[in-house]
């Protein structure tokens, strides 16, 4: 592909990376998600940022923060699956067998009524719990891991499980360990971001900052993709639809009427779009 246009996301100049970057932030306990996003703006001296999937003030863990022109990408992360490590406090002692049966009962599709204080309309709605794993039981505390559909309230899940067991339970601690493609293996604190930015400003050393800020393309790793020829990029950016002859390659998991990412051959994200065909039909 033509070297005069664009570049691999990892090789973007640092100022461009800040404009089109995303941070896998480990949210601290205390401030709201909105306030944490505001702290990021102040540290980097930018006027726009957006977070994906609100966490309660006391909850910690993975909170992806998109920067400047990358904020539009958070729409793809909002419906993606989440994983948490939670601590359930039982109100009365319960036998281990009954606890295990309850965890099995609440795995799969469940019916959940959002809590009184929530961002959505309060009506019963189906939610999917992909998996639950008990990590430890000690006295009246249960430490467990849960993977679930976006919009599942863990505090309410624990309350409903306690009610089902007939003894009552509440959530005493919660950490989000996954949100879409981001997890706790490579998250960064606000302090990490501040230190990295100060090193860049004072010494011109970009390395620590590049460790913290990722290209926003990392947010759409889980989406089906098509890669297009260089000659088609400008046309699409000016509103033209994507024609079959402009596609260079594609993934085999594209479904009709599904959200896909359109990429350049240098792995840059051009746009998001709805596919009118599935992978087999495109290839044919």
Which residue numbers are catalytic? 56
How many CA atoms lie less than 13 Å away from 274 in the CB half-sphere? 3
Distances (CA, A) of 195 to 19, 186, 209: 19, 16, 9
Contact between 92 and 208 (Cβ < 8 Å): no
Distances (CA, A) of 200 to 48, 189, 211, 212, 231: 20, 17, 12, 12, 36
Of 177, 67, 199, the C-alpha closest to 131 is 177
The residues facing 63 across adjacent strands are 25
Cβ atoms within 10 Å of 95's Cβ, excluding its own: 9
User: What is the torsional sign of CA 172, 178, 179, 184?
Assistant: positive
């Amino acid at each position: 592909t033509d070297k005069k246009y664009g570049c691999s996301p990892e090789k973007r100049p640092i100022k461009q990376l800040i404009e089109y970057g995303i941070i896998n932030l480990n949210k601290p306990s205390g401030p709201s998600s909105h306030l944490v996003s505001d702290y990021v703006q102040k540290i980097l001296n930018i006027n726009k940022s957006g977070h994906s999937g609100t966490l309660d003030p006391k909850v910690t863990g993975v909170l992806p923060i998109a920067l400047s022109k990358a904020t539009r990408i958070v729409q793809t992360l909002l419906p993606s699956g989440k994983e948490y490590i939670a601590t359930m406090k039982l109100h009365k002692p319960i036998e281990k067998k009954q606890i295990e049966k309850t965890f099995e009962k609440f795995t799969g599709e469940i019916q959940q009524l959002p809590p009184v204080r929530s961002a959505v309309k309060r009506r019963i709605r189906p939610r999917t719990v992909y998996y639950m794993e008990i990590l430890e039981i000690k006295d009246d505390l249960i430490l467990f891991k849960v993977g679930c559909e976006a919009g599942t309230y863990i505090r309410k899940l624990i309350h409903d499980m306690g009610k089902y067991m007939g003894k009552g339970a509440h959530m005493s601690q919660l950490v989000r360990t996954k949100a879409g493609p981001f997890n706790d293996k490579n998250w960064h604190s606000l302090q990490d971001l501040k230190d990295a930015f100060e090193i860049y400003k004072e010494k011109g050393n970009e390395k620590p900052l590049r460790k913290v800020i990722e290209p926003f393309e990392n947010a759409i790793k889980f989406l089906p993709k098509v890669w297009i020829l260089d000659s088609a990029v400008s046309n699409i950016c000016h509103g033209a639809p994507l024609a079959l002859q402009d596609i260079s390659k594609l993934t085999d998991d594209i479904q009709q009427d599904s959200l896909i990412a359109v990429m350049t051959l240098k792995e840059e994200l051009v746009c998001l779009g709805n596919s009118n065909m599935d992978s087999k039909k495109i290839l044919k």
